């Protein structure tokens, strides 16, 4: 490490100009020597070698200029030596530029629309596992839907396959950011056998966030459907009275309103629906 004392010593060694007072003394001695020579020869012209008053300022200015140059050289040497000692400050690296990908509202809506269309296709194909995978684990299910959680959709799909429940002409559109409305037309094996329906004006409203359905609201009015399928219910009560309680969930008013979604109930729905449809065809 270069110290202040070291720098001063280097400065003294690098100064090529002697002290002005010493230079004056040497010049005065030279003048006395010349005076002696004048006395020895009258033919020699006296030379006044004493420095004029203007000489000293010139020497001082020269000393200052050369001294300043020496200081610059010494400062440069100190910097180089300090770098050689490994004490040079590290070079400042520019901060990296972080580019954050952005998703526009239109892109988000298109992604949500794709999820809704996949939901409707899976419902039409009775693919309950795919339906479940499209819903958040804690998704809210509301409206006229036969399940309470996303984990119930595989069983619901089995029931819909058993009775031939079909979602015809599904059409999905963005109704607001993150919300998709899908309309469809309903028919079942029983309604086709009875020659009633199909039933229009049904829809799913899906709230979608981060690629998952957060809320399912099923808008389906069962009144006309239940009225049209009453012949099947009458046939079932007359033919298999003991199975009615296993196949239906009683409503608050005491009537049999919605299908019970259990493995045993689904098996009965499949067998009795096929039998009823066959009788209507014969």
Which residue blocks in the chain are alpha helix, DSSP H? 4-14, 20-40, 55-84, 105-124, 128-134, 153-163, 189-194, 223-228, 230-239, 241-247, 263-281
Please tell me whether the overall predicted TM-score, pTM, comes out greater than 0.85 for this model.
Answer: no
Task: Give the mean pLDDT per block of 10 residues along the chain (282 residues).
Answer: 58 52 48 51 47 49 50 47 51 62 76 97 97 97 90 96 97 96 98 96 96 96 92 96 92 69 96 97 80
Q: Which residues contact 196 (CB under 8 A, 6 or more apart)?
A: 228, 229
Same domain, 57 and 185: no
Same domain, 144 and 257: yes
As for how many domains the chain has, the answer is 2
Same domain, 79 and 116: no
Strands 248-250 and 135-143: unpaired
Same domain, 120 and 174: yes
Check residue 146 and give its pLDDT: 85
Q: Is the peptide bond before 129 cis (omega within 30 degrees of 0)?
A: no
Q: Where does a domain end: 50, 84, 118?
A: 84
Same domain, 219 and 251: yes
Tell me whether residue 93 is in a domain. Answer: no
Same domain, 122 and 50: no
Same domain, 76 and 143: no
Q: Quick check: helix, strand or coil at residue 184?
A: strand
Check residue 83 and give its pLDDT: 54
CA dist., res. 180 & res. 112, Å (int): 7
Same domain, 259 and 121: yes
Tell me whether residue 131 is in a domain. Answer: yes
Q: Which residues contact 242 (CB under 8 A, 6 or more apart)?
A: none
Q: Where does a domain end: 18, 51, 84?
A: 84
Q: What are the C-alpha distances in Å from 192 to residues 75, 156, 189, 276? A: 101, 21, 5, 11
Same domain, 177 and 61: no
Q: Where does a domain end: 54, 84, 114?
A: 84
CA dist., res. 192 & res. 71, Å (int): 106
Same domain, 80 and 121: no
Check residue 192 and give its pLDDT: 97
CA dist., res. 162 & res. 247, Å (int): 12
Same domain, 45 and 119: no
CA quadruple 229, 231, 232, 238: dihedral sign? positive
Same domain, 132 and 236: yes
């Amino acid at each position: 490490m270069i110290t202040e004392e070291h720098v001063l010593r280097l400065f003294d060694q690098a100064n090529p100009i002697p002290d002005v007072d010493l230079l004056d003394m040497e010049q005065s001695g030279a003048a006395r020597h010349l005076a002696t020579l004048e006395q020895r020869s009258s033919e020699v012209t006296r030379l006044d070698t004493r420095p004029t008053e203007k000489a000293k300022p010139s020497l001082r200015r020269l000393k200052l200029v050369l001294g300043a140059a020496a200081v610059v050289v010494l400062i440069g040497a100190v910097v180089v030596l300090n770098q050689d000692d490994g004490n040079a400050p590290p070079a400042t690296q520019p901060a990296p530029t972080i580019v954050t990908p952005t998703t526009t509202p239109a892109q988000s809506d298109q992604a949500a629309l794709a999820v809704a269309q996949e939901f409707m296709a899976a419902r039409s194909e009775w693919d309950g596992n795919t339906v479940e995978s499209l819903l958040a684990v804690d998704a809210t299910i509301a409206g006229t839907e036969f399940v309470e959680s996303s984990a119930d959709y595989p069983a619901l799909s089995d029931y819909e396959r058993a009775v031939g429940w079909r979602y015809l002409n599904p059409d999905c559109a963005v109704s607001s950011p993150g919300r998709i409305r899908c309309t469809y037309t309903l028919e079942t094996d029983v309604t086709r056998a009875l020659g009633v329906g199909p039933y229009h004006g049904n829809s799913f409203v899906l709230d979608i966030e981060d690629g998952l359905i957060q809320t399912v609201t099923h808008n389906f009015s069962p009144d006309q459907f239940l009225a049209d399928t009453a012949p099947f219910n009458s046939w079932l009560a007359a033919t298999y009275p003991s199975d009615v309680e296993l196949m239906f969930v009683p409503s608050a008013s005491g009537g049999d309103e919605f299908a019970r979604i259990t493995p045993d109930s689904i098996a009965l729905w499949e067998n009795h629906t096929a039998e009823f449809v066959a009788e209507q065809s014969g």
